[in-house]
A and B are shown apart, each in its own frame.
Chain A
Amino acid sequence: MAAFILRRLAQSVIVMLTVALVAFALFRFVGDPIASMVGQETTLAERAELRTALGLDEPFLVQFGNFVARAVTGDFGISYRLQQPVMELIMSRLPATLELAMVSGILAFAFGVGFGVYTALRRGGWASSTIMTVSLIGVSLPTFLIGVLLIWVFAVELQWLPSFGRGDTVYIGDWWRTGLLTESGRASLILPAITLGLYQMTLIMRLVRAEMLEVLRTDYIKFARARGLSNRAVNFGHALKNTLVPVITITGLQLGSIIAFSIITETVFQWPGVGALFINSVRFVDVPVMAAYLMLIALVFVVINLIVDLLYYAVDPRLRVDRANARH
């Protein structure tokens, strides 16, 4: 087990270095940060001077090397745009993104599994058909459009929920700012969480439904019914449990994408998370923030993959047995 984790950690470092290398190779195509950093009166000589001072005229491999050397010591530099230390900036924005991702992930998982089981057991019912049809809209409409539609209906027309921002926030500990403990914070979370989670919910629902239909046809379910077990025990104890391995994989990986691709949702709702920070940084060519953000996202994926692998162990006893046998 320990060897397994160590091996995965070593792989993770390689993955992250590769991400950083690719990122730096791409930054040159994003544009020139100097143009956004100085006023239009600045002379060409002064621009060149600033470029040299920031090391932007070096070949990208040298820039990459410098970045890694400093990143190892935990120094990601200072944002060109907001003039604040990058780590501080990202850490101050991260709670907003994580809260949004967690809430929409939980919503997606709970409703996805629930609807999935329901539609698998009640095939052909009108409620099932409705859920299936509505969920199609969820996957086929772009996130941006869903967000704008929700704002229009619930913020502008009905005026039930706020259209932007995170509401009031309070600190938990020294740096975690949460919106979950205030009423306006919770109200602000609803629309972005739905927007972000709708696609994932549909995906999980369809996956659970398909898996359930598959499992319900197998022999051991028939045996279980023949043994006179209650519907509840058969459906949830035997059938659902056996559908969960692929569902957990997908949900785990989707959680990574929820965090990484909350960019659009955060932009539409002016949600002050790392996704919005990243998109603003791209517009400004804020290289230090872009680099640190991409590293962070790589880290998130690496960690989630690790956790998913460990969860397999917990859910699927066969994996444990195989390992144990292999050692003999």
Chain B
Amino acid sequence: MFMKTNRAQTRARLMAGIATAAVTLTGVMASAETVRWARVADALTLDPHSQNEGPTHTLNHHIYETLVGRAVDGSLTEGLATDWGISEDDENVWVFQIREGVTFHDGTPMTAEDVVFSLDRARTPPSGMAALHAAVEEVTAVDDSTVHVRMSGPAPLYVQNLTNTFIMSKAWAEENGVETAPNFAAGEEAYSVRNTNGTGPYVMVERDPEVRTVLQAFDGHWADAPEVTEVIYTTISEAATRVAALLSGEVDIVQDVPVQDIARLEQTDGVRVVRGPENRNIFFSYDMSSETLASSDADDNPFAKPEVREAMALAIDRNAIRQVVMRGESQPSAAPLPPFVNGWTEEMDAFGDPDLERAAELMAEAGYPDGFSVQLDCPNDRYLNDESICQALVGMLARIDIRVDLNAQTRSLHFPLIENWETDFYLLGWGVPTFDSQYVFDFLVHTREGSYGSFNGSRYSNPDLDAKIQSLSTMTDLEARDAMIAEIWEEVMEERIFLNVHNQVLAYAMRDNINLDVHPENQPRMTTVTFD
């Protein structure tokens, strides 16, 4: 029974697609360009608010739009909002000017009501975006093109949380019974998982999950028509096949290029590789607070001693990891935040050469002249070469007699260890979607309580620092706030809560007549593609 409807839906969608294609083709016949784009994983759903996940957002950004966007350099750009700011009358209220003349793919105009509806939908469980809107109290449409968002207190950076919150049609959602985000526990498929009605630059005309998704340029879009008029998005999970498909000419852009293939692809005729820093740092952290470590032969907790943490910082050779493990494709750094994030400074990111002699002295001073043993937990399918990075560290720490027992496993087994405080020593990667240091402090530094510290596996707890971190979220004087951020960083770096390795570098490979920049959040937009 359900298959029948499904088939009928597909047919209806195809017909709609053909109609749209016909309309589109007449409009931009002169420069009809198709781009075939492959990456490792497909969007999990097309519902705009269900999942806060990279590939899902990346695809949805072509179909739906957000109030504000994120440019390749990390700055905010206009989206469906043309202007935004904190209200002059009330510092708890954010005011958004909504773009006029925007229509949804079904032809209905977008209004402030749709924005209100979408923000409410996004902040209501079971939406995956709810955590980003936790401080919102009320969203109201003041007039046709102005939306007010009332926060529970001053929230100077709230707009940074909006870059992945899509706007959908209220009428369409109500018509199809998807007024809230799909619920995993409910056990039935929501209409919005495979059907869309956004305002974005492309209309979805075909969707075969994990096989192929076809997008056609939306001729009713408010912005200039993109050069790419058709996007064929495919999933190829196997790295070797993905690269082969590019070399054989079956796809034009490959987004997730395996590190070991970058050099070879660069030397291939007709293929171009572009690189850029990703918004993700890779670091180690350790249990600094427990009395003893479960996996160690030491009688106390070595990581609680500043000398040991300093010795480890002196033993790690970040440049060697870059050259040997990452084949040159990383940015070694000492601070756990990417350079384009607010609060980053060159000084905190700098590191010296490894100094094993001094490290050995420190180990002896700390009371471990013969070292100690400990287990290192590491994911093996989450970050670029994650397991190899851990293996490299095992060798480096062995030189100062820290005997590391490596436990590398799949991500779904690794992350619960951090969540449940069952690891003494672990690898974690962290991106900063708000592009502000507070995000790092909230999740990784603050004591674990309520919505704070959920990834604070170091069990670090410092009430003074907690108070400072909490004060950040309501400081409206941005200069004072930046000073506070610097103050917090100074303490975090001095305490050595993190043993940072590097910033990940992204690489996209494509035909050499295509231009596409690397997006720091790994969300390339086909609208930005140009051809030579």
Contacts and interface: CB of A to CB of B under 8 A. Distances in A.
B457 interface: no
A39 B189 contact: no
Contact of A270 (B184, B193, B235, B413): B235
Contacts of A53: 184-185
A171 B454 CA distance: 48
A39 B451 CA distance: 13
Contacts of A175: 3, 6-7
B412 A39 contact: no
Interface string B184-211: 1111111001100000000000001111
A152 B248 CA distance: 9
Given A78-B189, A171-B7, A35 B411 contact: yes
Nearest to A84: B189
Contacts of A162: 248, 250
B107 interface: no
B98 to A, nearest CB: 26
Contact of B211 (A80, A272, A280, A283): A272
Contact of B241 (A33, A47, A268): A268
Nearest to B185: A53
A43 B450 contact: yes
B132 interface: yes
B6 A50 contact: no
A270 B410 CA distance: 21
A163 interface: yes
A78 B235 CA distance: 22
Given A39-B53, A39-B131, A44-B454, A163 B185 contact: no
Contacts of A174: 3-4, 7
Contacts of A78: 184, 186-189
Interface string A258-290: 000000000111101000110010011100000
Contacts of B189: 78, 83-85, 88
A31 B410 contact: yes
Interface residues of B, number: 60
Interface string A142-175: 0000001001100110010011111000010011
A165 B3 contact: no
A168 B372 CA distance: 60
B28 to A, nearest CB: 25
A80 B212 CA distance: 20
Contacts, number: 163
B47 A40 contact: no
A276 B448 CA distance: 38
Nearest to A88: B2
Contacts of B411: 31, 35-36, 283
A309 interface: no
A163 B244 contact: yes
B248 A155 contact: yes
B236 A270 contact: yes
A40 B443 contact: yes
Interface string A114-145: 00000000000000000000000000000000
A5 interface: no
Given A82-B209, A83-B45, A165-B211, A88 B3 contact: yes
Interface in B398-446: 410-413, 415-416, 419, 443
A164 B245 contact: yes
A187 to B, nearest CB: 12
Interface string A2-37: 000000000000000000000000000111110111
A186 interface: no
A156 B247 contact: yes
B128 interface: yes
Contacts of B247: 156
A323 B416 CA distance: 58
Interface in A163-211: 163-166, 171, 174-175
A284 B412 contact: yes
A82 B44 contact: yes
Interface centre among B184, B209, B412, B419 (most CB of A within 10 A): B184
A50 B181 CA distance: 14
B58 interface: no
A81 B44 CA distance: 6
Counting chain B CB atoms within 10 Å of each CB, which of A30, A81, A267, A268 scores highest?
A: A81
Interface in B451-504: 451, 454-455
Contacts of A307: none
Contacts of A148: 240-241, 244
B419 A35 contact: yes
B355 to A, nearest CB: 35
Given A31-B412, A32-B413, A40 B455 contact: yes
Contacts of B443: 40-41
A197 to B, nearest CB: 19
Contacts of A37: 184
Nearest to A85: B189
A285 B412 contact: yes
25 contacts: A31-B416, A32-B413, A39-B53, A43-B451, A44-B419, A45-B450, A50-B126, A50-B184, A53-B185, A78-B186, A78-B188, A83-B182, A83-B189, A85-B189, A148-B240, A148-B241, A151-B244, A155-B245, A156-B247, A163-B250, A164-B244, A165-B234, A166-B211, A272-B208, A284-B412
Interface of B: 2-4, 6-7, 44-45, 47, 50-53, 125-126, 128-129, 131-132, 182, 184-190, 193-194, 208-212, 234-238, 240-241, 244-245, 247-250, 381, 410-413, 415-416, 419, 443, 448, 450-451, 454-455
Closest 7 CB pairs of A and B: A31-B412, A39-B52, A41-B131, A53-B185, A31-B413, A35-B415, A175-B3
Given A40-B443, A53-B185, A82-B45, 5 more contacts: A44-B419, A50-B185, A88-B2, A174-B3, A174-B7
